[in-house]
Amino acid sequence: MKPRADLALLMLALHLSGVRVRPSPTDPTRLKHRPEHLPPHLLDGLRRHKADLLALLTAGPADVQPPGRCRWCGRARWWRPAGEAGGWTCGACHPPARPEAAEWARGR
Ligand SMILES: [Zn+2]
């Protein structure tokens, strides 16, 4: 099995088991999971995919891609405050108040 597919299956298994996983608030290199006691196959999967899971969980909204086209004007030019992990805003419908402080991206 490919590692990526393996990771996706693990995340699905965790989800279906009602397990919540997040980076430890005190040590971001560690995973916290709830409930604390997991079946061995889930625990094993968590150990094997720890690095990948941490990368996914800490990626955050800063890496979220802009949407495709604006549903109101049909354009695909988006902006958000530079350096902020906020959502994307349509540049035609809602131009930024301070264009110099905006980060632009094209929708796909
Ligand atoms: Zn628009």
Residue 35 Cα to ligand 1 middle (Å): 43
Q: Do 38 and 69 belong to one domain?
A: no
Q: Do 52 and 67 belong to one domain?
A: no
Q: Do 12 and 52 belong to one domain?
A: yes
Final residue before a domain boundary, out of 44, 59, 74:
59
Secondary-structure percent of the chain, ordered helix, strand, coil, rounded to 5 = 35, 20, 45
Neighbours of ion ligand 1 (CB under 5 A): 70, 72-73, 90, 92-93
Residue 81 Cα to ligand 1 middle (Å): 17
Residue 78 Cα to ligand 1 middle (Å): 9
Residue 70 token pair: 């604006």
Residue 36 token pair: 């604390």
Per-residue pLDDT of the chain (108 residues; tens, 9 = 90+): 566 778 889 988 999 999 998 888 888 788 899 999 999 999 999 999 998 888 877 765 555 778 899 999 999 999 988 877 668 899 999 999 998 889 999 987
Question: Could you tell me the pTM of the whole model?
Answer: 0.50
Q: Do 55 and 80 belong to one domain?
A: no
Residue 7 Cα to ligand 1 middle (Å): 36
CA distance from start to end of the chain? 30
For residue 47, what are the domain limits? Answer: 3-59
Final residue before a domain boundary, out of 59, 74, 90:
59
Q: Residue 98 contacts by C-beta under 8 Å, 6 or more apart in sequence?
A: none
Residue 84 Cα to ligand 1 middle (Å): 21
Query: What is the model's pLDDT at position 26?
Result: 86
Q: Do 15 and 27 belong to one domain?
A: yes
Query: Structural domain tally of the chain?
Result: 2
Q: Do 16 and 50 belong to one domain?
A: yes
Residue 101 Cα to ligand 1 middle (Å): 19
Backbone φ and ψ of 50, nearest 5°? -55, -50
The dihedral region occupied by 107, where left means phi > 0, alpha psi between -120 and 50, and beta the remainder, is beta
Q: Do 40 and 69 belong to one domain?
A: no
Q: Do 67 and 32 belong to one domain?
A: no
